[in-house]
Structures are given as structure tokens and as C-alpha cells.
Structure 1
Amino acid sequence: MEKHGRKMKAALVGCGQISEVYFNNIQKRFTNLEITACCAAHFESAQKAAAKYGIHACTYDEILEDPSIEMVLILTPAPTHYELVKKGILAGKHVYTEKTLALEVKDAKHLAELAEKHNVYLSAAPETFLGAAVQTAKKAIEDGRIGKVTSFHICANRDYDILSSLYSFLREPGGGICFDYGVYHLTALVELLGPVDNVFARWQNYKPVRKHSVPGMPGYGGMFDSQGESIAAAVLQMENGVTGTFMMNAESNMWDIIDFRIYGEEGVLILPDMNSFGGDVRLIPNTTRTAGEEIVLEPVSDLTGNCRGIGPSQMAEAIAAGTKSRVDSSLAIHVLDIVNQIITSGVQSVVKKIETSI
């Protein structure tokens, strides 16, 4: 996505592992942005990143006081997002944050109201739906390749014993399988089929206490609390009446195994992992009579690798054009609402209405 014209100056907040791909992609690919500063909870992390990428390491307050910086990219753990986003908005900055926008829908709505009041843009990940895979599937649906959509099925699994040993933020609020991983699939679903109307769900925290299982890391062999949901199953009904299933399991295989299908009267679409941007989108037309006979669809774009950074780049493009961003906060709020209502439905054993839309 080559951009021309003025570059919007941005600062990156949080210099952990995920920051590397943002630094690299924005420097080399999404050239309507320029990262000029960074900060981190551990200042030495910001200093290392600054030295590597030729930018300034500073505090968040210094970033917010810098009039040349128009956008802040927040890559910190989810529990920190609300306060960091709020401070950015109040300082007059456009804000893009990694998932989720906040932990509670009321807080996310408040941030969106503040952004509107202060005339700044607010967006949140996941941005993976902008990649070639989801957009290829969307075009296939719009072109009638599977006819009228009748249902969908989403099933994904991970291994939280290993992953939460590696990444401590998965142990915190907002680190459960639906909040951290399910949001990719739910965002893709909403992009493909529109908003969700209601949910009925069951979930559990399968292992409230886990054993650190990664040799060579600090804490190996010790025990730690794991706070979030690790298994969840839900029936989702879309506003258009289509009903399907959503299943997340963090108590299984280390390597993510995904089954994401959209069923239609004239065929079935099989999508790859929604945590990535690309991957084969396969079509099984109902004219196929041989098991396993599939058509791999031609990608609609070259956004097939790890394209993190496309979200803030698209937001910068929308700001320049004065149009609504495709990663607008309304989408993030709706997906957060779905996740929260999955949790509430599981506690109350009732169908929960999704009050937000897009």
C-alpha cells in the first residue's frame, strides 16, 4: 500500500514484541505514516527501540505535549488501554490501539464519545480483516459464489499452558481466549456477514491456576493465576437472520488449528486463520460431487503476510480524506460487546441481545 503526499507523524506506545512489525511495516510499507517517537513502561525498552529505528525515546506525557505528533499507536496490554487512549484523546491526538479498545463496553463507548467531542479519530485492532483473506471471501459472497448465506461455523484452538507461560498479559483481564483471540474471528465474521444481533453461550476458566511450562524462562515450573475464559462456545444470530456457531478452546494443541466456514445455498467458503492477513480461501461449490474437490480463490490484494500497521495507515488515509475509517471504533465496540455478552450469557444462561451495531 504505497502512499504519497504528507506523512502523518506518529508515536508508538509500548515497545514489546509486537512493536517490531509495526516499526518495520510503517517504515517500509505504509508510507503515509512516520513514527518519530516511542515510549514504554520500562524506559530501557523504549531506548533500545529508539536506537534501532532512529527515533526519540521519551515519556508518554512528552509525546502528548509534542504538537508535531498527530497520532499515537498504543501496543500495550489491554487493561492499560482505557487510560492511555483517554489521555491521548484529551491531548488532541488521533488514537489507534491494539485489541481491545477497552475491557468494558461502557468504557469503550465513553472513549468514542470523547473522540467525537474532541474531533479526533479513534480506531482499534484487530485490523486483520483488511487483509487479502477476508476481503477475498467478502468478494466471493458479494459475487454470489456461494449463493444466499445459510449459516457459519468458527472453531479455533490454542494451548494456554504454553502461551500464558510465554506471555504474562494472557493471565490478566482481557487475556482470555475470546478477548485475545476470538476477536479476530468475530471481526472477520462481522465484516463478512454484518452485525450480530444476539448470543447464547457457555464458557469456563478450565485452569484458574497453571504451571509455567516453558523451560529456560523466568518462573519455569512455578504456578500462576490465569484469570480469563479458556473455553467458550456460543450460538450467534446475525442481524440479517443468519445463525451459526462460535467455539474457542485454549486447552488443546500448541499450534493453532482453525475451522472457519461460511455455508451458502450454492457452496461453502473455507477461510484460514483470522489472526493472519492472508492464506488460501477455498470454495466448495455445490456442483462438486467428489469429496475434497476445492477451488482456491485468487487473492484480491497482496496483503497476505503480516501487515500489522495497515489499520493506522488506513486511519491516516481517512483523516486526510475526511472520511470514516474502515477501522473505526464502532466496529471495535461492537465486537467487544459481542465478547462481553458471550461472557454474560454464560453466567446467566440466557440469550443476550447485542445492543451495539455498526
Structure 2
Amino acid sequence: MNSDAPLRVGLVGAGFISRMYFDTFQQIRDEVRLVRVADVDVERAAAAGGAQGVPGGTVDELMADPDVDIVLNLTIPAAHAEVAIRSLDAGKHVYGEKPLTVTVAEARTMLDLADRRGLWVGCAPDTVLGTGIQTARRAVDEGLIGRPIAATATMAIPGHEAWHPNPDFYYAPGGGPLYDMGPYYLHALITLLGPVARVSASASRPRQERMIATGPRAGERVPVLTDTHITGLLEHVGGAVTTLTMSFDTVGTRAVPIEVHGLEGSLLVPDPNEFSGTTSVKLRGEDWKPLPVSAGYENSSRGYGLLDFNRTPAGEVPRADAGIALHALEIMETMIESSARGRRLDLGPAADRPRAVPLTSL
């Protein structure tokens, strides 16, 4: 967009995740400014908006507001496509939480509409823009570990019902560990190693219900309607092979979130759910050592994808563009299909690897 004026944001969905975005808006208000909040719970929207010093009300009011340039879509996954399409129909850009939508088909419908309207769609996670993943990417790009040949990516926890008072959507279609946490790992892997050409996977659902542990619904059981343990092999276009494991069924793990192995060395990559963290390297005949921070947005947080969009020069693709999110969604959908069919499956045309982020501070 590369505008001298602040990007004016209307936020839809004033739930738990919105608090993190509110904090970020205070940091970047000279370039990205919150102007309105909306929620299906109008009282919650009014309270959230009041706390931020902006109007809070209905989604209809936000869509009709000419001062909103872009809609920040923080609704549950099942509503992502509907809210995004409404926003595009209202002539507004859209930036949403992950996953892009629940299915590839509805994502493509949404993006076709955006193309016809000349509007931009972006998608989290923007954690990959921080110093953690970007420092690791620079090490890969500069050939520090030689040609990448393999990676592992692991997220293994008991499940969100242990802490979330309303975890139902985590166990509905569009949820589960793959659709909930997978985008962090997949966006990081695509950033580090490039797009994926084919996948094979196995998935399971060992429990049919989960019990809520906290909040007013503690003790209530929710049905499990999606797979909760998935392991897959991702074959990257560049030749590297990643083993990906996403689970809501394990007690715990000591596995590093992401390891990348090259012919001359290996990297330990920080948690892709965070913006920072230490990347460590081991070269042949040497001990592990931390790498100095060398790339990425410093002190970044949720919402920096909006900042990057506002700073992107004309003719360039913003780094948090929906293209990478669509590719990640297709990987996830194809993994589920691979498990059901018991075979290795090819993906469609891949997204371009996003541009690297040089070391950048506000």
C-alpha cells in the first residue's frame, strides 16, 4: 500500500485474541490505527471499543463505515469466509486470523472476489516476520548449513480444553491441531524452505469428547469432530523433506519446534508461534552455538502483517499475503485427504516464497 496516511482498521471479533492486537495497535498507531470494533455480541464490542477509545457496535455498522480501510477478521474459523466476503463486497481490504478459511474451495471463491474488486487479502500468522524465523531464514539463504535436505516440525500438547473456557471450535471442522497450530509451522517451513509439492499423512482421533477444565463451563464435555493427531511428510519443491507432527493427544514433548538439516550443518529454529527467539547452529566438527539476531521486525507482535502491508511499495506483494495462507490451507486439506485415502498426493501450483525481512525496527 505504501501510504503516508495511517492504515485505518476495523476489527471484527472482540474475543480472546483481540487483546494481543489491541496491544500492538498502541505500538504502531502512527502507521496502523484502530478506528472501530464490532462483534456479534454488541455489548462486548462496545466495551472493547470504549477501552480503546473507538466506537464499538455491530458488524453492519463497521462495514458501512467509510473510515475503515481494512477489516481485521478475528472471528472463529467457520466465519472467516463469510466476514471476508462481506468486507470485500463493502470495498474494504481484509486481513484475517489463521486459517484463511475452513476449505480451499471457499478460500478461492473469496480470493477471486478480491481480484475482481482490486482489493487485498492477507492472513496471519505474521509471527514469521519476526526476528526468530527471519534470522533462521537468513542462515539458510546464505548457505550456512549447505543445501537443505530435511526438517522436522513438532507441536504436541494435551489440548486447549485445559485452559480455554470455550474450546468447542478447536474440535470442530476447521479446528484440531493441524488447522489451529499447523499454520504457524507451515508458514515458517514455507518461509525457510519454500513451497511444498506433495504430501502423505496419517491422522487419528483417539477420543470422541473432551472435558472443559476452566471457566463457567468446567466439567462440561464437548464432542471431537475432527482429527486430533496428524503426522505427515511434506516434500518441498526445492527437494527438502519435512516430517510434521501436530497433536492434541500427547502429555508433552521435549522436541524442538523446528529443526532444519543441511548437508553442512543443522539449525534449531525457535517456536513459530512467537515472533522472537534464538536460532542455534551446529556445523560439522563444531558445537551448537546461538546465532545473533540478523533479520526480521524487531519487537514485533500480532498485527505486524498489517504494518508490512501498509509499508509495501506498489508492485510488490505484501509478505503476509493470502497466497502463502492458501498454500498452507491446501497442504493441510491434502494431508487430511491423504490420510483418508492412504496415499501420497500432489498439490496444485505453489505460492511464491515470501520476501525476506531485513533487520527492521520502528
Same fold by TM-score greater than 0.5: yes
- Secondary structure of the 2:78 match is helix
Task: Report what 1:223 is aligned to.
Answer: 221
Mapping 1:79-90, distance limit 5 Å:
79-90=78-89
How far residue 304 of structure 1 moved from its aligned partner, in angstroms, is 5.7
Task: Report what 1:158 is aligned to.
Answer: 157
How far residue 306 of structure 1 moved from its aligned partner, in angstroms, is 6.0
Gaps of 5+ in 2: 352-362
| Aligned Cα root-mean-square deviation (Å) | 1.9
Distance 1:174 1:186 in 2: 16
Equivalent AA in structure 1 for residue 15 of structure 2: G
Encode CA deviations 1:212-271: one digit per residue, 9 max, x unaligned: 233xx2222222112222110011111112212111121123689643110011100011
Q: Does 1:356 align with 2:354?
A: no
- Secondary structure of the 1:253 match is coil
Task: Report what 2:174 is aligned to.
Answer: 174
Task: Report what 1:185 is aligned to.
Answer: 185
Q: Does 1:58 align with 2:60?
A: no
Encode CA deviations 1:329-354: one digit per residue, 9 max, x unaligned: 11110000000000000000011111
Mark the CA change 1:322 to 1:34 in structure 2 (over 3 Å): closer, same or farther.
farther
Distance 1:207 1:79 in 2: 22
Between the two proteins, the alignment pairs up a number of residues equal to 349
Encode CA deviations 1:165-188: one digit per residue, 9 max, x unaligned: 553321222111000001110110
Equivalent AA in structure 2 for residue 311 of structure 1: G
**Identical-residue share of aligned pairs (%):** 28
- Secondary structure of the 1:21 match is helix
- Secondary structure of the 2:267 match is strand
- Secondary structure of the 1:315 match is helix
Judge conservation of contact 2:6–2:29 (CA < 8 Å) in 1.
no
Task: Report what 1:298 is aligned to.
Answer: 292
Q: TM-score, length-normalised on structure 2?
A: 0.91
How far residue 5 of structure 1 moved from its aligned partner, in angstroms, is 3.1
Encode CA deviations 1:31-80: one digit per residue, 9 max, x unaligned: 31111100012111111111111000121111111112111101111000
Q: TM-score, length-normalised on structure 1?
A: 0.92
Judge conservation of contact 1:159–1:255 (CA < 8 Å) in 2.
no
Distance 1:6 1:304 in 2: 22
Mark the CA change 1:259 to 1:50 in structure 2 (over 3 Å): closer, same or farther.
closer
Task: Report what 1:13 is aligned to.
Answer: 12
Task: Report what 2:270 is aligned to.
Answer: 272
Task: Report what 2:232 is aligned to.
Answer: 234
Task: Report what 1:251 is aligned to.
Answer: 249
Equivalent AA in structure 1 for residue 66 of structure 2: P
Task: Report what 2:102 is aligned to.
Answer: 103
How far residue 272 of structure 1 moved from its aligned partner, in angstroms, is 1.5
Aligned residue among 327, 331, 346 for 2:320: 327
Distance 2:299 2:31 in 1: 19
Judge conservation of contact 1:337–1:356 (CA < 8 Å) in 2.
no
Gaps of 5+ in 1: none
Mark the CA change 1:298 to 1:13 in structure 2 (over 3 Å): closer, same or farther.
same
Equivalent AA in structure 2 for residue 63 of structure 1: L
Identify which range, 180-189 or 170-179, moves more after superposition: 170-179
- Secondary structure of the 1:273 match is coil
